[in-house]
Structures are given as structure tokens and as C-alpha cells.
């Protein structure tokens, strides 16, 4: 099957120009100047020609941080791998990297098996896993090497959630040390969980139980402190470090300082920290619960710092931390006690559109939009140039994007299995029109034409972002 995408503007991390794309089977076969004689020949002999006139053609989005079907706080995130990857496709994301969790007392490999079973045969788009280390032992350190050989080359540890995922500085140092020998990338949830637990306890003792107190008990300084501590531990071991869901100016300052020193330190932020704020957690009644995630939404002043970080490459990646819980029955578990609200927001479907609004507003360039949503995550997690590029030999994961379209974000029209949208009623520019996943058209003419199980597990190489 040979398909030509003709007449569009190819947008990559390097810039934008009039280029036509030839897809052969699952791969990009060739590129040629738009409206050229070569393109004319392709169009004559192809099985299908897709007219992309007036549209952008870009590498499919890669969301490097999702939690499909994840148990948390006595419930499970509302999207399965099937519904979540289908929603991703609707939003122009053609690959996700989810997290396989090691439960305390069990092995890393058992965690990976369990998550592979959840995803196997049901995904609409390609997927991969990071491993969450909850229990640093001699065995789990050795298992890191095994997983690296299987294409799981990144490992996440938590400085938050004492008693659940919490890793001590000793644990983190040991995992980092191992990473320097096996080449893995260490990912850190940077919040000082021990101090935060004490702040939370005194808030509850004062009867402060509303959703807003989730935010007020996790101050940005506690993220800044933990980010700095993780960075210094990484500096001592020489391990590369990736800080997930960076949400605040103090944490960004620590990253900037480390990068200026030449350390291999990277960070991702998420659309919710760029577009939502602490005020949303203070909405009347219990509605604020819809906006409870960790780290929490910050006072609006932090947003400008994060956009700046995206421009200066101190923030390299935008991922979603997609972890949806329905308002009915799930978020409601926390009525009367904010600590019982399941932490997480839906977003996998909205990421490409939302970050495109940064282009519309002049915060970032068109090329940078593609870089932070696709190319950088591909390089960061060892997928480039198979993913994150539209180049000969790359997987034909391609999005055709209509920059002139307008749409209103709403739970009534989204495809995530969750009963609300954090961006309800937001009017935006741009829209995903067509999506190819490994050469197969899975979104087009307003319909989903993919199928569960088309998406495959993708083993990853070591990070290609290190300097
Ligand atoms: Zn997460």
C-alpha cells in the first residue's frame, strides 16, 4: 500500500516547508519537494493520495507520561489502554509511554508482566513502558539491567507518597548508580513527601478538608527542594536525570542551574501547568476536585516561567501525566477529605491542540511545538528516528493538522472515558484532521478507523538526549 500526502506543509523540529510524503507499507519511503515532477509521478502510481493543501503534516505526537488502567487510592484510572490510546489517536498522539509499577515486596519484572498484559492486544497506537521502582533491593537493581536489555530504558522513583511509592535518598542514589552502568535514564517525581505529609496532617487537624487544600499543602518550594536534591544526587553519581511533570518556578530554577553547569538534567512539563492554575481547585462546591493532581496546579504566576523554559529548552518535553478519574464516584471519594481525592487529570487527547495554542499566542514556534511534543520525547526515550520524525525509514506515524479549524473542548465531544474536561468550553484554534499509525489511516473524515491491537509494544534504545 503506497500513500502520498501531497500539498501540505511538512513541519518538523527543524522548521516548515512544502514537502510531499510517500508512505510505503508501515514506513515513510521518501520525501520530495511539493508540486514537483517526482511528486506528480508518485501521485499517479500511488494507491491513495491524501490532499493536505493548507494543512500541516507532522510526526505523530508522543506522550511520554500516561497512566492507563492504573490502580490508585482504592480505585483505577478511568481509561483502559484501549480507550486511552484511542483518545490519544483522536488528539494526534501516535505513541504513549506508560508506567509499569513494581509493587512493594514484588519484583520489577512481575510489575512489567502485569502491565504488558493490560496493554497487550488492545492498543490503538504504539506504546512502551517506563518502570516504576517502589522497592530498591539487590534484586530490583539487577532487574534494571534485564529490563534495559528488553527495551525498557527508563526508571521512575518517587520523592513523594511516603508509605506507597516513596524512595529514600539512599534508594535514589543506588538506582542512579546502577543507571550509570546500564545506561538507563532515571526519572524523578520531585516533591518532598515527608515534609508535605506533615503539612497535610496539620491542615486536616485544622479542619481544612476542601480540594484547594490539596494545593496549599504542597507548596512549590517543596518541589524546588526535591528537584534540587535529585539533581545533586545525580551530580554525585554522574547519572542522567529527567524530572517528570515539573510544575513550578523553583523546580525550574534548579533545572536551569544544573543545565548551565552542563549536567545531563532534563525536565518535562504538562499542559495543565501551562493552562490551569490553583484558582481552579478553589471552584465552588466540590468542583475543585476535578483539578486535583500531583504536583498541584500552581498560582498563575508560574505559567510564564514554564513557557519561558519551553522556549529556552530548559523544559524539553510536554507530556500529560494523563491519569483520569471520573468526577462521579471517583473524585467524589474525597468529599470531606481532600487527601482521599484520587490524584490525576485527563489530558492525553488534548495535548497537541493545547500546546498548539502556544504557537497561536506566540509563546513558542511551530517547529518547537513539534519538537517538545514529538521529536524530543522520541530522542529522550530512545525512539528516534523511528518515531518523532517524518524521514525515510521512520515509522509512518503522521498527523495532518488543520491550523485554520476552530473547536471547543468539551467532555460531550472528547473520546477519553471520563465524565468531565478540565478545559470545558475552551475555544481553540487548530484541529487534528487525519492520523496515520505505521502507515494505516486510523483517524480521517471525522471517524476512527483503527482497531484495538493495531498498536504494538516498542522496545526502546538508550536515551539519545544525553550530552
Ligand atoms: Zn505520573
Q: Ligand 1 center to residue 189 CA distance, Å?
A: 8
pLDDT confidence of residue 187: 98
Q: Ligand 1 center to residue 68 CA distance, Å?
A: 10
Q: Ligand 1 center to residue 378 CA distance, Å?
A: 18
Round to whole Å and give the CA distance between 310 and 395.
26
Q: Where are the beta strands (DSSP E) in 147-264?
A: 154-158, 185-189, 241-243
Burial 18-35 (b: 16+ CB within 10 A, else e): ebbbbbbeebbbbbbebe
Instruction: List, as ranges, residues with CB under 5 A of the ion ligand 1.
Output: 321
Chain-centre distance for alpha carbon 327: 22
Q: Ligand 1 center to residue 102 CA distance, Å?
A: 14
Q: Ligand 1 center to residue 324 CA distance, Å?
A: 11
Q: Ligand 1 center to residue 246 CA distance, Å?
A: 11
Q: Where are the beta strands (DSSP E) in 207-337?
A: 241-243, 265-269, 317-318
Q: Ligand 1 center to residue 425 CA distance, Å?
A: 26
The length of the chain in residues reads 467
CA angle 34, 38, 43 (to 5 degrees): 80
Query: 30 φ, ψ to 5°?
Result: -165, 160
Q: Ligand 1 center to residue 219 CA distance, Å?
A: 18
**Is residue 73 scored above 90 in pLDDT?**
no
pLDDT confidence of residue 467: 73
Q: Is residue 196 within 8 Å of residue 217, measured between CB atoms?
A: yes
Peptide bond into 385 cis (omega under 30): yes
Query: 172 φ, ψ to 5°?
Result: -65, -45
All three cell numbers of 161: 507518597
Sheet holding 185-189, edge to edge: 61-66, 93-101, 126-132, 154-158, 185-189, 241-243, 265-269, 317-318
pLDDT in tens, 275-322: 999 999 999 999 999 999 999 999 999 999 999 999 999 999 999 999
Round to whole Å and give the CA distance between 466 and 407.
38
In a 10 Å sphere around its CB, with 0-12 CB exposed, 13-18 middle and 19+ buried, how is residue 206 labelled? exposed
pLDDT in tens, 189-243: 999 999 999 999 999 999 999 999 999 999 999 999 999 999 999 999 999 999 9
pLDDT confidence of residue 382: 98
Q: How many CB atoms lie within 10 A of CB 445?
A: 8
pLDDT in tens, 384-400: 999 999 999 999 999 99
Kindly report the three-state secondary structure assignment for every residue of 448-460. Answer: ECCCCCCCCECCC
Q: Ligand 1 center to residue 122 CA distance, Å?
A: 21
Amino acid at each position: 500500500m503506497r500513500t502520498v500526502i501531497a500539498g501540505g506543509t511538512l513541519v518538523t523540529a527543524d522548521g516548515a516547508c512544502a514537502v510531499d510524503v510517500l508512505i510505503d507499507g508501515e514506513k515513510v519511503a521518501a520525501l520530495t519537494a511539493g508540486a514537483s515532477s517526482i511528486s506528480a509521478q508518485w501521485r499517479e502510481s500511488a494507491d491513495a493520495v491524501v490532499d493536505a493543501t493548507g494543512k500541516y503534516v507532522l510526526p505523530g505526537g508522543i506522550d511520554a507520561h500516561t497512566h492507563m488502567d492504573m490502580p490508585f487510592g482504592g480505585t483505577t484510572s478511568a481509561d483502559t489502554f484501549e480507550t486511552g490510546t484511542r483518545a490519544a489517536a483522536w488528539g494526534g498522539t501516535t505513541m504513549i509511554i506508560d508506567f509499569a509499577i513494581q509493587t512493594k515486596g514484588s519484583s520489577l519484572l512481575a510489575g512489567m508482566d502485569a502491565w504488558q498484559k493490560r496493554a497487550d492486544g488492545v492498543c490503538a497506537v504504539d506504546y512502551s513502558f517506563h518502570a516504576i521502582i517502589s522497592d530498591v533491593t539487590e534484586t530490583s537493581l539487577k532487574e534494571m539491567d534485564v529490563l534495559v536489555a528488553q527495551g525498557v530504558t527508563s526508571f521512575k522513583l518517587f520523592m513523594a507518597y511516603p508509605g506507597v511509592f516513596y524512595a529514600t535518598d539512599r534508594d535514589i542514589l543506588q538506582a542512579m548508580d546502577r543507571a550509570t552502568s546500564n545506561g538507563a535514564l532515571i526519572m524523578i517525581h520531585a516533591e518532598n513527601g515527608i515534609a508535605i505529609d506533615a503539612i497535610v496532617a496539620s491542615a486536616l487537624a485544622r479542619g481544612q478538608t476542601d480540594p484547594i487544600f490539596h494545593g496549599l499543602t504542597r507548596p512549590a518550594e517543596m518541589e524546588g527542594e526535591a528537584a534540587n536534591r535529585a539533581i545533586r544526587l545525580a551530580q554525585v553519581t554522574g547519572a542522567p536525570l529527567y524530572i517528570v511533570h515539573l510544575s513550578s518556578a523553583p523546580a525550574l530554577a534548579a533545572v536551569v542551574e544544573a543545565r548551565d553547569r552542563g549536567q545531563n538534567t532534563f525536565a518535562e512539563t504538562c499542559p495543565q501547568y501551562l493552562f490551569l492554575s490553583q484558582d481552579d481547585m478553589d471552584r465552588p462546591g466540590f468542583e475543585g476536585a476535578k483539578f486535583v493532581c500531583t504536583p498541584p496546579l500552581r498560582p498563575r504566576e508560574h505559567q510564564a516561567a514554564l513557557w519561558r523554559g519551553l522556549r529556552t529548552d530548559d523544559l524539553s518535553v510536554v507530556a500529560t501525566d494523563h491519569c483520569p478519574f471520573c468526577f462521579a464516584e471517583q473524585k467524589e471519594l474525597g468529599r470531606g477529605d481532600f487527601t482521599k481525592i484520587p490524584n490525576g487529570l485527563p489530558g492525553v487527547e488534548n495535548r497537541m491542540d493545547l500546546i498548539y495554542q502556544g504557537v497561536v499566542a506566540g509563546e513558542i514556534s511551530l517547529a518547537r511545538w513539534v519538537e517538545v511534543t514529538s521529536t524530543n520525547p522520541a530522542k529522550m526515550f530512545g525512539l528516534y528516528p523511528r518515531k518523532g520524525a517524518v524521514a525515510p525509514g521512520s515509522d509512518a506515524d503522521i498527523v495532518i493538522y488543520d491550523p485554520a479549524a476552530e473547536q471547543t473542548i468539551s467532555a460531550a465531544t472528547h473520546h477519553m472515558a471520563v465524565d468531565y474536561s478540565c478545559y470545558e468550553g475552551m475555544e481553540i484554534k487548530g484541529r487534528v484532521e487525519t492520523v496515520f499509525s505505521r502507515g494505516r489511516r486510523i483517524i480521517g473524515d471525522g471517524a476512527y478507523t483503527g482497531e484495538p491491537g493495531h498498536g504494538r509494544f516498542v522496545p526502546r534504545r538508550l536515551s539519545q538526549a544525553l550530552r
